[in-house]
Homo-oligomer: A and B are copies of this chain.
C-alpha cells in the first residue's frame, strides 16, 4: 500500500497545464515500478500531450493475452475546501483510503499492477501474457490513445482488455459491467441581435439568445424526460428480458438511491421506464450550462445577443452517433425561436457498447471474482461512457472485462474521493485468480 500512497501523492491533474510536470512524474513512476516488477519493454510513448505507457510480459506462449488498461492522470481536486484531508495527502480513515485518484483510477490501476507484480514475485512467471497500456489524458480528453491504438493494432493484439475503472454495484457484491452508454457532446450556438442590447430599450422587440437557447432545449426534451428529436428512438434496443429480470433482482432501492446519492426531493426521468433501465439503457439529454449574458453579482439589464448551451445525449445500443448528430441538427434548427439563428457544434461522439457475458474471458473473470468475494458476480451496465472500451472493440476487435472495485459512493470527480481498502486488497486477489483461470 505504501507504493500506492506514493503514487497518489503525485498531483497528476491532466486538465491543468501547471501540473504537466506532475503528470509526467506519474508516468515515470508507473514505468519505474512496472520495470522493477519484471515487465519488459517498459517505455513511455510520446504524443502531443501526456505520454502513454507500454510494457509487456509475453512469456506464456499459447496462452491468452490480456491488454491491461488504466490511466495515471486524475481530475482536478476543486473545491479544495470540501476535502477533509488534502487530496494529495493520502489518508486512511474507517477502512477507506482517501485521495484524489484513489478510485479513479490510480488505486484501481494499482490493483492490476500489483496483481501482475505479485504473481511474478510468487511464481516467477505469469499464467497469461499481458500488455499494459496506460494513458495520462483520460480526464482531459486527449487524443493520444485514440490515435495510437488503431495505428498499433498489431503490437497491441490481445484476446481481451481488462479495465479496473468502474464500481461494484454494492459493497461486497462482485460486479462486471457489460454495457456502457455512448455519448454525443456539443454546443448549441445561438445568435440573436448583432450585440447585447438594453432590456429597457429593446425588451419587447429584440430576440434574447439565452432565452432562445433555453427554449430550444426545452423543446428537445419535455418535463417527463422524453426527448423530442425526430428518429432518435428508432434504433433504441431494449435490453433482453433476461437482462431486465437480472436488474430487477439487484439489491437496489430507488428511495435509498434518491436520498443518499442524489439528494433531491424527487427523481426524474421517463415515468414508465424502470429506474435502472433509465440510467443504463435509455437515451438521455442533459443541459450542462449556458454561457452568455450576465451571470455575475448585481443587476445588469442585458438582452444577450449570443448564447452557447453545452448539451450531451447519452446513447444506447444500437443508436449510431452520426445519425443522432444529423437528427440533432435538424431538431435544433426546427426548435429555434423567431429572431435567432441556432446551430449545433459537435465536440465528441462515441457509440454505446455492450459485451457478451458468455465470452470465456468474461465468464472466467466473473468466476474469479465470485471465488474471492464469496458471492455470485452480477452483471450490470453503466450509464456513462468509457470511450476506450469502444476503441478496443473497434480497433482491436476485443471485448473488455470491466472488473471494477470502486463503490458508488467513492466520490470520483468530487471532494473526498476514496477507495475501500478491503476492495483494493480483494481486487488484487481477484485479478490474480483471474490470471490463473484465464491461463488454465
Contact of A294 among B289, B341, B348 (CB under 8 A): B289
Which listed residue, B218, B279, B337, B382, touches A205 by the CB 8 Å rule? B279
Contacts of A249 in B (CB 8 A): none
Q: A294-B288, A299-B348 are in contact. Are A312 and B199 (CB under 8 A)?
A: yes
Kindly specify which of A19-27, A105-113, A265-273, A431-439 makes contact with the partner chain: A265-273
A378 within 8 A of B: no
CA A205 to CA B291, docked complex, whole Å: 25
Give the residue name and chain of the B residue nearest to A224 (CB): B338
Q: Which residues of B contact A289 (CB under 8 A)?
A: 210, 290, 292-295, 302, 304
- A246 at interface by CB-CB < 8 Å: no
Q: A293-B288, A310-B294 are in contact. Are A275 and B223 (CB under 8 A)?
A: no
Is A123 among interface residues, defined by CB-CB distance under 8 A? no
Q: CA A217 – CA B293 in complex, angstroms?
A: 15
Residue of B nearest to A286 (CB): B199
A side interface size, CB within 8 A: 82
Q: Does the CB pair A195–B414 fall under 8 Å? A: yes
Judge whether A385 is part of the interface by a CB distance below 8 angstroms: yes
State A247–B324 Cα separation when bound (angstroms). Answer: 50
Which residues of chain A (259-282) have a CB below 8 Å from chain B?
A: 261-270, 275, 278-279, 282
Bound form: Cα–Cα A195–B291 in Å: 20
A214 to chain B, nearest CB (A): 3
A251 beta carbon closer than 8 Å to chain B: no
Contact present for A295 and B299 (CB under 8 Å): no
Write the A323-363 contact mask toward B (1 if CB under 8 angstroms, else 0). 00000000000000111110000011000000000000000
Residue A193 interfacial (CB < 8 Å): yes
- Cβ contact within 8 Å between A206 and B288: no
Query: Is A194 interfacial (CB 8 A cutoff)?
Result: yes
| Count of this chain's copies in the oligomeric assembly | 2
Which of B202, B213, B339 contacts A266 (CB under 8 A)? B339
Cα–Cα, bound, A339→B414 (Å): 22
Q: Are B264 and A194 in contact (CB under 8 A)?
A: yes
Enumerate chain B residues within 8 angstroms of A308, measured Cβ to Cβ: 295
Residue A181 is within 8 A (CB to CB) of chain B in the complex:
yes
In the assembly, what is the distance between CA of A215 and CA of B221, in Å?
10
Q: Does A89 contact B (CB under 8 A)?
A: no
Are B214 and A287 touching (Cβ within 8 A)? yes
The 8 A CB mask of A279-322 against B (1 = contact, 0 = none) is 10010101111111111001111111000101010100000000
Docked pose: A297 CA to B165 CA in angstroms: 25
A339 with B278: CB separation less than 8 A? no
Are the CB atoms of B204 and A279 closer together than 8 Å? yes
Query: A75-112 CB contact bits vs B (8 Å, 1 = yes)?
Result: 00000000000000000000000000000000000000
**Does chain B have a CB within 8 A of A185?**
yes
Complex interface: chain B residues within 8 A of A413 (CB): 198
- B284 and A204 within 8 A (CB): yes
Give, as a whole number of angstroms, the nearest-CB distance from A215 to chain B.
Answer: 5
- Most chain B beta-carbon neighbours within 10 Å: one of A198, A200, A384: A200
Chain B: minimal CB distance from A337 (Å): 5
Contact with B along A390-402 (1 / 0, CB 8 A): 0000000000000
Q: A211-B217, A289-B293 are in contact. List 12 more A-B contacts (CB 8 A).
A: A141-B298, A194-B264, A200-B314, A203-B279, A207-B268, A210-B288, A210-B290, A214-B218, A265-B339, A288-B293, A294-B310, A295-B310
Q: Jot down 16 A-B pairs with beta carbons below 8 A, ordered by A.
A: A194-B264, A198-B413, A199-B284, A199-B314, A200-B385, A203-B284, A204-B270, A207-B267, A214-B214, A223-B338, A265-B341, A268-B337, A268-B339, A289-B302, A299-B310, A301-B312
List the 9 shortest-distance A-B pairs measured between CB atoms, nearest first. Answer: A200-B384, A194-B263, A289-B293, A214-B214, A204-B278, A291-B295, A203-B284, A289-B295, A266-B339
